């Protein structure tokens, strides 16, 4: 085999390194989306607390959500929730089916699905 054909073939170590990078990115995104969801919880509990104080108080709290910054934060929250869900399903699939092939593709699909869900939320005007 000549030197030109040896460099054209992918090395096994390079494929494993790429798979590990994709797995690391998936783990990092999964943890960051979990942290984002945990940071949202106090605001959620405040909203529930105002609902217990009466309809007028709750409506005034919901009036804050018509702010553009809050709308973008809601989009980020929905996207983080979708990302956490699909990456969690990825982890379950890894455990149940013991497959580690196409990791980069699966992680890319997970990110795309979460962004699509967030975009649908944003365009839906919810």
Q: What is the pLDDT of residue 90?
A: 83
The tokens of 10 are what? 């992918």
Q: What is the pLDDT of residue 11?
A: 60
List of domains in the chain: 13-124 (1.20.1300.10)
Q: What is the pLDDT of residue 56?
A: 87
Measured CA to CA, the distance from residue 18 to residue 16 in angstroms comes to: 5
Q: pLDDT of 6-63, one tens digit each?
A: 555 556 665 556 556 778 888 888 899 999 999 888 888 888 888 888 888 888 888 8
What is residue 10's DSSP assignment? P
The tokens of 13 are what? 């170590």
């Amino acid at each position: 085999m000549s030197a030109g054909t040896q460099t054209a073939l992918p090395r096994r170590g390079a494929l494993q390194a790429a798979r590990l990078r994709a797995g690391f990115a998936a783990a990092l995104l999964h943890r960051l989306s979990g942290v984002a969801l945990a940071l949202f919880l106090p605001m959620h509990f405040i909203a529930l607390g105002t609902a217990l104080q009466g309809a007028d108080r709750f409506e005034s709290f919901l009036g804050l959500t018509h702010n553009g910054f809050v709308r973008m934060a809601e989009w980020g929250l929905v996207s983080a929730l979708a990302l956490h869900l699909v990456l969690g399903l990825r982890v379950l699939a890894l455990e149940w089916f013991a497959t580690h092939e196409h990791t980069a593709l699966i992680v890319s699909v997970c990110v795309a699905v979460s962004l699509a869900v967030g975009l649908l939320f944003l365009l839906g005007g919810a």
